[in-house]
Structure 1
Amino acid sequence: MIIELHLLQSFPVSNLNRDDVGQPKTATFGGHTRGRVSSQCFKRATRQLFNDYGLEKSETAIRTKRLLDHAAAALAENGRDAELVTQVVTAGLRQLGFGVDENTRLTEYLLFVGRHAIDHLTTYCDDNWDALHAIAARNKAAADKAKGSSAENGESKKGGKGGKVTKPDKAAVEQARRILDAGRVADVALFGRMIADNKDFSVEAASQVAHAISTHAVVNEFDFYTAVDDLKSRGESGADMIGTIDFNSACYYRYANLDLNQLAINLSGDEDLVRRTARAWLFSFIHAMPTGAQNSMAARTMPETLLGVVRFRGAWNLANAFQAPVVDADIMAASTARLTQHFHRLRGFYGNNDLRAVAAASITAELPHLDDGDIVASIDAFTDRILAGATA
């Protein structure tokens, strides 16, 4: 079973997701420049709402390179030698197959793990303290010897300076599995995880999220601003700071889907957690709000047109409804008409056999091309129909 969510959301002056030079991201689609908000941006905004919509913190993940410092702090709190904990945890991570840079004390990769990972790593290092301490001492002696010679300082691509990653033995692999276990971690189950060095720890994403693109052509603009020193003497003129901020205004088409079968596999078949995760995904994606430049632009709007679909198989991104950019004066109404018409045509051509439920709502626009039975009047009616169709 697959849930699809199609949203139209208009943002006024905003820079929700900036590129490397600070401008709002764009993409060329249908031969015209469109505003764009990356899928990663919306996924992060979605993840940050999961605990507001029914998931416990223990059921959500953290994305981090800082396992070492947190596990070391926990060991020190448990009474282990504070001067040795960093060395021991570094050795422990390397024994488990994770690269660590001794200079930054960060893991090689940004790891997407459950919140239990720090506790499991702490326990592993505590239980194997003596062995890991001995390994750390040998590594330190080898590093000191290398520093004192004229030979090049040994540097491993994976281990960083001063040590190498060890190929984990069977017991270490099992410990790494516990640390990386995502069987009850909703956002890893939804958005997946890829670990290049060990694909056994990778997780196939249950949810796909498209880059949001504007339904119309855009031209980025900039705001020239000045600031004045509040303690300047009366009569002094001139600005004490000048600058520019880039922005655009756009109506975005947002799309995401959720494969409930893959979600159930990722969550070890826990039916209650699957239902709660699907609900949290649906509400959080609708309410997701990118944070870029919000303090200076406050572009905090809600989706105005929503189309939800539950289907047995397949998935339809409806972005081609906007391949020719919308040029009407009422962009939201015209975009809504385009969206519903495109869906109606695809539905007519490919048939309804794979469709289980359809729900649509719009705050400001009419919903042409849809059956009266498809239209609902509130967010609660919308989400109830989608979740009922997906889990019945």
Structure 2
Amino acid sequence: MFVELHVIQHFAPSNLNRDDTGAPKDCEFGGVRRARISSQCIKRAIRTTFQREQLLSPEHQAIRTKRLLGELADRLVAAGKDREQALAVAQRLIESLGLALATRQPEKTEYLVFLGRHEVERLANLAAEAWDALVAVDDARSGEQQRKKSRSGIPSEISRAAHQILDGGKAVDLALFGRMLADLPERNIDAACQVAHAISTNRVTMEFDYYTAVDDLLPEETAGADMIGTVEFNSACYYRYLNVDTEQLVSNLQGDTDLAKAGLHALLQAAVSAIPTGKQNSFAAQNPPSLVFAVVRQRGLWSLANAFVEPARPRDGRDLVQESIRKLDTYWGRLVGMYGADGIQGGWVATHEPDQLQALRSAPCHPVKTVSHVIEQALSAAFGADSHQQKGAPA
């Protein structure tokens, strides 16, 4: 089963996701410039929302870090081990996994690794259990003894145990967004969730905020600013889209259907409420979505981005948000008319602009009053009527 989420969200002047020059990210779509928020930025906002709103218990969340060595050493020190030896033991265990440490910063791995908190805990436990063997490792071993060891000098049984630990640790965000370990391709995890770059439904032009700052202790007889600068920004109405393969999600969570239900619930909640943090102290663009539309289907996936090939603009008494919702509704109707609704279990939509809906009022879609109803109905269709979970994943 697949669950799709479509969102229309209009932001006031902002710079939510900027490029290497500090400008808001953009792209060309339909022959015109559009505002853009990257998929990576959206996923980061979702993951931090999991934590901030406590949508998942900590043991079902992952850590993305280059500082695995320090984290393992800290856990060993907390268990009473000597810090210098703890760092050496942690380094040997990491190397036994085939994860390279950075040449210039040996306290870090060469690249970010995405590990479930339970995986990190189990690696620390393995290091503690195999402490004596890891402390005694001598990389200069030779002869028959060397042939019984891994290339790093770690006893082969310890290396195998370390590799077996990397099973995803039943971390929901890791199961949703996947993992690629260049040095350990056999421990990669295929993402259950696809997240599109959000693009504006309307044409955008970049604007500049010219600002000055004045020294509070500036003498009265002195005029002028002590700092001058510019910040680029725009205002745009975004179409956002993601989908989840529930079978892949259950598989990534080692067959734990209850955790997959809770994870999907958390994802849908976070995807609606998550807002990127870029320049928010300067713009405070805390604007909630104007439309949330969830679809549950057995096959096929429909992004509705092409509803906006022709940019939306205020017309016939409709503002930009209303026109964007109308265009999405019209495009949905065209797709259903062309391909039919076979395989679609249902669709549920909540919006504060219900007058713009026509196609989304017809089966298999159902207007509902609140976003909570959208999420509850989608969960019920995807996993069964008993799928509604309270906040937080099962322990």
Give TM-score, length-normalised by structure 1.
0.89
Structure 2: gaps spanning 5 or more residues: 142-149, 385-395
Structure 1: gaps spanning 5 or more residues: 140-163
* In 2, Cα distance between equivalents of 1:132 and 1:103: 24
Q: Tell me how far 1:75 sits from its aligned partner.
A: 1.8
Query: Which residue matches 2:27?
Result: 27
Query: Which residue matches 1:219?
Result: 205
* Residue in structure 1 matching 2:360, options 360, 370, 377: 370
Report 1:260-299 matches (<5 A).
260-299=246-285
After superposition, the CA RMSD in angstroms is 2.1
* In 1, Cα distance between equivalents of 2:11 and 2:208: 16
- AA aligned to 2:251 is I
Report 1:194-213 matches (<5 A).
194-213=180-199
The 4+ residue runs of structure 1 with deviation greater than 4 A are 136-139, 167-170
1:116 partner SS: helix
- Are the counterparts in 2 of residues 97 and 167 from structure 1 also a CA contact under 8 Å? no
Q: Tell me how far 1:45 sits from its aligned partner.
A: 0.7
* In 2, Cα distance between equivalents of 1:121 and 1:204: 22
2:64 partner SS: strand
- Are the counterparts in 2 of residues 305 and 360 from structure 1 also a CA contact under 8 Å? yes
Query: Which residue matches 1:383?
Result: 375
Query: Which residue matches 1:68?
Result: 69
Residues 42-51 or 347-356, more deviating:
42-51
Query: Which residue matches 1:342?
Result: 331
- Are the counterparts in 2 of residues 311 and 357 from structure 1 also a CA contact under 8 Å? yes
* In 1, Cα distance between equivalents of 2:82 and 2:323: 66
- Are the counterparts in 2 of residues 88 and 136 from structure 1 also a CA contact under 8 Å? no
Query: 1:98-131 CA distances to partner (integer Å, 9 max, x unpaired)?
Result: 1112642101221111112332222222233333
* In 2, Cα distance between equivalents of 1:47 and 1:15: 20
* In 2, Cα distance between equivalents of 1:246 and 1:45: 21
Q: Tell me how far 1:309 sits from its aligned partner.
A: 0.7
- Are the counterparts in 1 of residues 195 and 242 from structure 2 also a CA contact under 8 Å? yes
Q: Are 1:318 and 2:319 counterparts? A: no
Q: Say how many residue pairs are matched.
A: 368
* In 2, Cα distance between equivalents of 1:169 and 1:256: 44
281 and 165 in structure 1: CA distance in 2 versus 1, 3 angstrom threshold: farther
* In 1, Cα distance between equivalents of 2:64 and 2:151: 21
Q: Tell me how far 1:72 sits from its aligned partner.
A: 1.2
Q: Are 1:356 and 2:345 counterparts? A: yes
1:335 partner SS: helix
260 and 275 in structure 1: CA distance in 2 versus 1, 3 angstrom threshold: same
- Are the counterparts in 2 of residues 194 and 202 from structure 1 also a CA contact under 8 Å? yes
Query: Which residue matches 1:88?
Result: 89
- Are the counterparts in 1 of residues 239 and 305 from structure 2 also a CA contact under 8 Å? yes
Report 1:87-166 matches (<5 A).
87-101=88-102, 103-104=104-105, 105-135=107-137, 166=152
Give TM-score, length-normalised by structure 2.
0.88
Q: Tell me how far 1:30 sits from its aligned partner.
A: 0.9
Q: Tell me how far 1:183 sits from its aligned partner.
A: 4.7
Query: 1:282-303 CA distances to partner (integer Å, 9 max, x unpaired)?
Result: 1111111100000110001101
Identity fraction in percent: 43
Residues 28-37 or 67-76, more deviating:
67-76
* Residue in structure 2 matching 1:174, options 137, 160, 165: 160
- Are the counterparts in 1 of residues 38 and 198 from structure 2 also a CA contact under 8 Å? yes
- AA aligned to 2:39 is S
138 and 296 in structure 1: CA distance in 2 versus 1, 3 angstrom threshold: farther
* In 1, Cα distance between equivalents of 2:61 and 2:140: 38
Q: Tell me how far 1:167 sits from its aligned partner.
A: 9.2
- Are the counterparts in 2 of residues 28 and 34 from structure 1 also a CA contact under 8 Å? yes
- AA aligned to 1:386 is A
2:80 partner SS: coil
232 and 107 in structure 1: CA distance in 2 versus 1, 3 angstrom threshold: same
- Are the counterparts in 1 of residues 17 and 25 from structure 2 also a CA contact under 8 Å? yes
Query: 1:263-295 CA distances to partner (integer Å, 9 max, x unpaired)?
Result: 111111112111111111111111111000001
Query: 1:160-215 CA distances to partner (integer Å, 9 max, x unpaired)?
Result: xxxx9849875345333354221511011111111122221011111100000000
124 and 31 in structure 1: CA distance in 2 versus 1, 3 angstrom threshold: same
Query: Which residue matches 1:161?
Result: none
349 and 108 in structure 1: CA distance in 2 versus 1, 3 angstrom threshold: same
Residues 121-130 or 237-246, more deviating:
121-130
Q: Tell me how far 1:387 sits from its aligned partner.
A: 1.4
* In 1, Cα distance between equivalents of 2:163 and 2:126: 12
Residues 378-387 or 284-293, more deviating:
378-387
- Are the counterparts in 2 of residues 96 and 175 from structure 1 also a CA contact under 8 Å? no
- AA aligned to 2:313 is V
1:49 partner SS: helix
1:122 partner SS: helix
* In 2, Cα distance between equivalents of 1:13 and 1:235: 36
